[in-house]
Amino acid sequence: MLAVIFIWLYMAVTVFLLGYGILTGLSIVGSYRVKKWDSHVMCGLAGAAVYAQFFSIFAPVGFAANLLLIAICLLIAFLCRKRLREDWKQIGRRRKWAEADGVFRKKFFAKVFFLLVLLLLYAYGTSRGILHYDTALYHAQSIRWIEEYGIVKGLGNLHCRLAYNSASFALSALYSMAFLGGQSYHCAAGFLAFVVALICTELGKVIGRKKMCPSDFARVACIYYLLMIYDEMISPASDYFMVLTAFYLVIRWMDLMEEKEKAVFPYAMLCVLGVFLMTVKLSAALIILLVCGPASVLLQEKRWKETGVYIGLGILAAAPYLIRNVLLSGWLVYPFTGLDLFRVDWKIPKGIADYDAKEIQVWGRGYSDVTKFDMPIREWMPAWFRGLGGMDKLFVLAAVLSVIVFAVRFGLWLVQRKKEWVGKLLLEGVVSLSFLFWLFSSPLIRYGCVYVYLTTAVVWGDVCTEFFESVRLSGRKAGQYAEKACMLLIGLFLVYKAAAFGMEVCTSYVNDYWLYQKDYDNYEVKRYEIDGVVFYCPVEGDRVGYDSFPSSPAEAQIHLRGNGIGDGFRYAE
């Protein structure tokens, strides 16, 4: 646990400075000064992941990568020293105000205390817990390949899942500290969960303003998810990175709309974050449709320079991911074979890639038999729905109802053309389409729970707050009572979940991992050779872990492209 906290402190400093430098430079173009601390942190996290991916193309992501990152951060601190000093003075003025105002001082120190408690709670959860099944299957091996080789051509031929490229693996490798000679830490997902949890604590503002905002509903959904993954965030699974980043993006987008923010810059930067989100997990692709909002303003006002900058940022965010895809598998977007652009000897055969794509889809539908890929929706969806847990069924039904409500609202907008609805309907439409895309393709809850939760939260958040506002303006007390009842129900729900969460943490308490983090799970293996090089595969099952390297779930049918594994692999015809 102590090691996790130290790594988090290092992460916090580096990603903050990296994000601060990026946003400070870009704010000159957008004539906008970023105010929220988390904007710098999230921008820095995305920037660090992009940096790590680029670095992996040329070298292993280890000591040298961290040394260069520190040098970049020091350069940013030097170049932005005046601006950083101004921000620090502003914090100092707030501190003096806190000392002068007794009430404010109590609130200030209460926030600091709560921050420390939350830090310890999430560090405790990240230091121990349940490692995802797929972590021992391929997450740990993917990260180790990045740590030791950066990128290896045709790695997906050794094990097709090693071609499941994700920006999150490069980020985890960057902050794994494996180069120190100890264990490889995997606490980046926990750090992101902690940051998003801090954003969710802003739900407490509802008490001060005494009214609900749409973003409050999204925060409640995010808190529910954070409680669910508390004992799993130790795992470097890309799902957690994708879901948490999507929650952050949508919540901050809703905050901007509620604040009636007119500047394009913050919306455009969230769209760039959406591009990065696609590189974490491709199932998040439709979130990029949010770009329609800032793009329409930029094009109408003919702000070509800004448009070019934002497009360039999007390309920069996606470029290393696409390059790594080609090097790992020979395909631009593995396992999608519709774009066959490259003739390279390390390409994963089309038949294997197509089979892999079908296997992903049928697995999400609740089957393991790929021959059922062409089964009609009317046959597989009822069986899939019956296989869901009770709460998941309720959430899916609520999301389906939300899509219907959105369709009705969109129809009304086509008739009435209310200008104030445009921004809301754009966000509602994006999350609804994302939910439908997930539902009709590969609806494994783990893949798309964020869209199940957000579709309900965004649509009903807009509907409820619009209703509360209308009755508030009319002066009817019934509406005020309805809003208070809604706030009370949300409060009771959160108290219940917090109590259940607290009991679960207490009952599962074990006096271990106070200094270090729980290591990767490892399994019994056997050796086999390919072209004189030793590889490992499990004695039973398909999982290996981190220590036995290089490995595959079964004996791979490949050849080395050169004298060693660093030269890559090609499929054995």
* Dihedral angle of Cα 91, 96, 99, 101, to the nearest 10 degrees: -90
Instruction: Give φ, ψ of 112 to 5 degrees.
Output: -65, -45
DSSP letters of 494-526?
HHHHHHHHHHHHHHT--S--SSSPPPPP---EE
Residue 460 lies in a domain: yes
DSSP letters of 204-242?
GHHHHHTS--HHHHHHHHHHHHHHHTTTTTTS--HHHHH
Residue 126 lies in a domain: yes
Q: Which residues pair with 526 in a beta bridge?
A: 537
Average pLDDT over residues 45-60: 97
Lowest mean pLDDT among 139-153, 382-396, 453-467, 490-504: 490-504
User: Based on the domain organization, do 344 and 426 belong to the same domain?
Assistant: no
Lowest mean pLDDT among 86-90, 382-386, 411-415, 442-446: 86-90
User: Based on the domain organization, do 423 and 338 belong to the same domain?
Assistant: no
User: Based on the domain organization, do 11 and 152 belong to the same domain?
Assistant: yes
State residue 441's pLDDT score. 87
pLDDT band of residue 13 (cuts 50, 70, 90) is very high
Angle at 397 between CA 461 and CA 383, to 5 degrees: 155
Helix (H, G, I), strand (E, B) or coil at 560: strand
Using the predicted structure, report yes or no on whether residue 100 has a pLDDT greater than 60. no
Q: Which two tokens stand for residue 491?
A: 């409060």
- Give the count of beta carbons closer than 10 Å to the beta carbon of residue 460: 17
Using the predicted structure, report yes or no on whether residue 451 has a pLDDT greater than 70. yes
pLDDT band of residue 33 (cuts 50, 70, 90) is confident
Average pLDDT over residues 266-272: 95
Residue 513 lies in a domain: no
* pLDDT tens digits for range 138-189: 999 999 999 999 999 999 999 999 999 999 999 999 999 999 988 999 999 9
Residue 344 lies in a domain: yes
DSSP letters of 311-351?
HHHHHHHHHHHHHHHHHHHSSSBTTB-S------TTPPPHH
* pLDDT tens digits for range 330-373: 999 999 998 889 999 999 999 999 999 999 888 888 888 888 88
Residue 559 lies in a domain: no
State residue 99's pLDDT score. 52
* pLDDT tens digits for range 210-245: 888 999 999 999 999 999 999 999 999 999 999 999
Q: E strand or H helix at 277, and its extent?
A: helix 265-280
Whole-angstrom distance, CA of residue 163 vs CA of residue 556: 14
User: Based on the domain organization, do 284 and 426 belong to the same domain?
Assistant: no
pLDDT band of residue 103 (cuts 50, 70, 90) is low
Whole-angstrom distance, CA of residue 472 vs CA of residue 29: 41
Select from 283, 276, 278 the least CA-distant residue to 433. 283
State residue 479's pLDDT score. 65
Using the predicted structure, report yes or no on whether residue 104 has a pLDDT greater than 80. no
Helices 304-329, 292-300: axis angle to 10 degrees equals 140
Burial 208-242 (b: 16+ CB within 10 A, else e): eeeebbbbbbbbbbbbbbbbebbbbbbbbbbbbbb
User: Based on the domain organization, do 61 and 132 belong to the same domain?
Assistant: yes
pLDDT band of residue 254 (cuts 50, 70, 90) is very high
Range of the domain at 438: 379-507
pTM (2 d.p.)? 0.95
Select from 429, 426, 417 the least CA-distant residue to 297. 426
Using the predicted structure, report yes or no on whether residue 509 has a pLDDT greater than 70. yes
User: Based on the domain organization, do 33 and 163 belong to the same domain?
Assistant: yes
Using the predicted structure, report yes or no on whether residue 316 has a pLDDT greater than 90. yes
Residue 273 lies in a domain: yes
User: Based on the domain organization, do 333 and 438 belong to the same domain?
Assistant: no
Q: How many domains does the chain have?
A: 2
Q: Are 37 and 15 in contact (CB under 8 A)?
A: no
Residue 206 lies in a domain: yes
